[in-house]
Structure 1
Amino acid sequence: MKPTTPRTENHGIVVDSIAAPRRSLRIACVTETYPPEVNGVATTMARFVEGLHRRNHDVQLIRPRQATSQAAEQQPGFHEVLMRGLPIPKYPNLRMGVPSKRALVKLWSTHRPDVVHIATEGPLGWSALQAALHLKLPVCSDFRTNFHAYSKHYGVGWLHRPIMAYLRKFHNRTQATMVPTEALRRDLETAGFRHVSVVKRGVDTERFHPGFRSDELRRSWGAEPGDLVVGCVGRLAAEKNLATLSEAFEAIRRFDARARLVIVGEGPLRAELQARWPDAVFAGQQVGHALSAHYASLDLFLFPSLTETFGNVTPEAMASGLPVVAFDYAAASQIIQHGRNGVLVRMGDNSAFVREAVATATQRASREAMGRAARDAAMRLGWDGVVARFEAVLLHVMHGAEHGAAMPLVDEVMQTPLA
């Protein structure tokens, strides 16, 4: 997703009170993933970059080069800086940055930003933090991926404490750490993280819409009119708790032999899962209109992951008119009202997840009513207000650095003039 031409927007009384008076900033955004890479961090960062650009800020995007032939995009108010990167083991389509402090110090000495925002905590993110501190630049960060939670799924649970120590050290050297949910803010503050602020995420309700439902696509999955199609979208990896998805669908099939399972995504477990689930449809990675159609052509969305910081697929599925069965945390706990627009299951209770999946799958009228309510709930999650809150935190970080003040919590940010 690339920034578009800047335009003036009327975001309503609340947002205008947050953003006014607003000055144009020079913002350096550092991320180790960005479209066309497909993941929640890349998608969200593109939304923030585009939103800041539309609000007349000058955005410098710093990220790894994704292909040797890739050229940096330059346009008024938007400047890409492509750094050297390396493939991530087991994820050849993703790249991580390499240590680049010297290059960033040189860049920011001649093109000094007003504030630096770091989206990822990898080698490029660490280099950006060191360069910003060296040049005494205001800097804030995102806590977006549960690296500490992932460790136990790869046989290295003993790394939990050192990983958390690194993340705490990283984020506590910034003036603010943004998280997408209040629950995650409480967890991090309990773990010793300081200046944690909630900046929620939005969903594109035009891109994800029930109108993209495709009978032709459903037929290609072997589904006839009236057949139940259950699906999941995400990375095919150990941390996604896909064994519970399998158990839930097998239970559904005992009640409805014609039910189909569609898996959208790629990952290191794909070959193993295909061998284990020969009747499932593995659609691979989908983007753009194809992804919209895959969502909208499902009837029920099962999301068994236990390691999300947010889980963009939850609001995307809801915007597509689907009831979601998910564990009661991250995005699900924020936007699902149990029994009304989806189903919430107590964290870690896999047996309850299976029971709720079966109950939802086998009650068509209730399922379809929840899908309509899910769409209505998603309509209230627009990106404009989310970007305005992101902007407000950036401004407070910059003003706090200028005046030697600590970063206030997000609820204080929302009530404080940004003069």
Structure 2
Amino acid sequence: MKTATDADDILVDDLPAPRHSRRLAVVTETYPPEVNGVAMSMARVVDGLNRRNHDVQLIRPRQPARMGMQPTGKPEIDEVLTKGLPVPLYPNLRMGVPSKRSLVKLWSLRRPDVVHIATEGPLGWSALQAAQHLSLPVTSDYRTNFHAYGKHYRLGLLSKPIMGYLRKFHNRCDATMVPTEAMRVLLAERGFERLSVVGRGVDTQRFDPARRNAAMRASWGAASDDLVMGYVGRLAPEKNLGVVLAAFEAVKRLQPRARLVFVGDGPMRAELAARVPDAVFAGQRGGDDLAAHYAGLDLFLFASLTETFGNVTTEAMASGCAVIAFESAAAGELIRSGVNGWLAGPGKEDAFVAAAGVAAMDANARRVVAEAARATARRLDWADITARFESVLEGAIARGEPVFRLTGLQAVA
């Protein structure tokens, strides 16, 4: 199996012979075994590009040894590992460090046809600078609503500079991919250019109602006919978990045996446990185990308003959960309220809580909605998403000259 290369120790012999139709450099500051929406969806795209006969070079920070095997384990993918630092409040996540010189050296030895940057952190910025220095086409992803996190992390006056940085970053790219039409419209209004909608798929073989497990539900204290409500994701302020608690408390008054399950971890875990002592905290899960946790839920409560997409929404739908969410991100694009889920207007917390009450008291409606949600999820095929992703890359290559040269922007030394 191919071993990963350190970015600071690159030799010509380290670089594999080209085998595929396009040479693609993918730069990301998060990747499995890290568990988050950006990491997991990026891994699916990388795998899909490889399956479509492209030569993929993956550049990412080296992860802590405690997280297991460092390389992907896929011999077809050339990995370059850079130095990384822990992300504040999230010790299992790494962010890259400035690496422009190493990347210029790497790509000078073997030029990629296009560079794709998935994250806008220090490693992403270095990749953008290096690509500009070498006049390489660049595409990017807008995957995380950093500017929307300000009110949750008291960024205050930093919100505008953050948005300015993101706009500057993405407008230096030949194309920026966004996951929903609503996000495309929002960013266009804020001065972002060359935006292309590329959605997200979902693995409906993994996320399947058939994984429902009576023994798991029993371990949560739930009988077969008890209502189990749940949330999957980071336990963090930006996820609006107070609304989830309000919905559960309202339902608990209607159905005293209702249970609440949190799947995930984060800085709010202790606070949530203090507020709801009888809630189940399953911790961070992955793979088939995560899928079984989804399938064990009857109602999936997702109150976040900071998502660009929200992969957990489609995973829950594929798992046969009835989803209650705000009309935002993936939920806003995919759910028709009362048909394949329930929606509340953005920020309408009372409506969210009321929807939970309606769903909790009507088992037949939950069943019909869950079946329709599963049908919706089955249309979200990763092969189609990868083909769309590939078409954006090809468009950037076809332009022949990077946008930052055409618009007169100068590469940063």
Query: Do 1:29 and 1:62's aligned partners in 2 also have CA atoms closer than 8 Å?
Result: yes
2:57 maps to which of 52, 57, 60: 60
Q: Is 2:29 the counterpart of 1:47?
A: no
TM-score when normalising by structure 1:
0.90
Match of 1:8 in 2: none
Tell me how far 1:70 sits from its aligned partner: 5.3
Structure 1 residues 404, 362: CA separation in 2 closer, same or farther (over 3 Å shift)? closer
**Structural mapping, 1:28-47, within 5 Å:** 28-47=25-44
Match of 2:253 in 1: 254
Match of 2:309 in 1: 310
Match of 1:189 in 2: 188
Q: Is 2:351 the counterpart of 1:389?
A: no
Q: Which amino acid aligns with 1:177?
A: T
Point out where structure 2 has 5 or more consecutive residues left out of the alignment.
3-19, 407-413
Structure 1 residues 406, 176: CA separation in 2 closer, same or farther (over 3 Å shift)? farther
Quote the sequence identity (%).
Answer: 63
Q: CA-atom RMSD, angstroms?
A: 1.8
SS at match of 2:158: helix
**Structure-2 separation of matches of 1:118 and 1:138:** 11
Question: 1:388-417 deviations in whole A, cap 9, x for unaligned?
Answer: 00000000001113497999xxxxxxxxxx
Structure 1 residues 71, 203: CA separation in 2 closer, same or farther (over 3 Å shift)? closer
Tell me how far 1:273 sits from its aligned partner: 1.0
Tell me how far 1:45 sits from its aligned partner: 0.4
**Structure-2 separation of matches of 1:404 and 1:168:** 14
Structure 1 residues 406, 52: CA separation in 2 closer, same or farther (over 3 Å shift)? farther
Tell me how far 1:158 sits from its aligned partner: 2.0
Q: Which amino acid aligns with 2:335?
A: I
Tell me how far 1:157 sits from its aligned partner: 2.6
**Structure-2 separation of matches of 1:248 and 1:291:** 23
Question: 1:18-68 deviations in whole A, cap 9, x for unaligned?
Answer: xxxxx8100000000000100000011001000000000000000000025
Across the two proteins, how many residue pairs are aligned to each other?
A: 386
List structure 1 segments (4+ residues) > 6 angstroms apart after TM superposition: 403-407
Match of 2:169 in 1: 170
Q: Is 2:346 the counterpart of 1:356?
A: no
Question: 1:93-139 deviations in whole A, cap 9, x for unaligned?
Answer: 10000000000000000021000000000000000000000000000
Q: Is 2:373 the counterpart of 1:374?
A: yes
Match of 2:126 in 1: 127
**Structure-2 separation of matches of 1:74 and 1:301:** 33
Query: Do 2:137 and 2:402's aligned partners in 1 also have CA atoms closer than 8 Å?
Result: no
**Structure-2 separation of matches of 1:133 and 1:53:** 25
**Structural mapping, 1:275-294, within 5 Å:** 275-294=274-293
Tell me how far 1:152 sits from its aligned partner: 1.1
**Structure-2 separation of matches of 1:236 and 1:283:** 12
SS at match of 1:149: helix
Question: 1:262-313 deviations in whole A, cap 9, x for unaligned?
Answer: 0000111111111111010010001111101000011110100010000000
SS at match of 2:325: strand
Q: Which amino acid aligns with 1:381?
A: L
Of 157-166 and 51-60, more deviation after overlay is shown by 157-166
Tell me how far 1:151 sits from its aligned partner: 1.3
SS at match of 2:301: strand
Query: Do 1:236 and 1:267's aligned partners in 2 also have CA atoms closer than 8 Å?
Result: yes
Tell me how far 1:344 sits from its aligned partner: 1.1
**Structure-2 separation of matches of 1:268 and 1:235:** 8
**Structure-1 separation of matches of 2:204 and 2:52:** 20
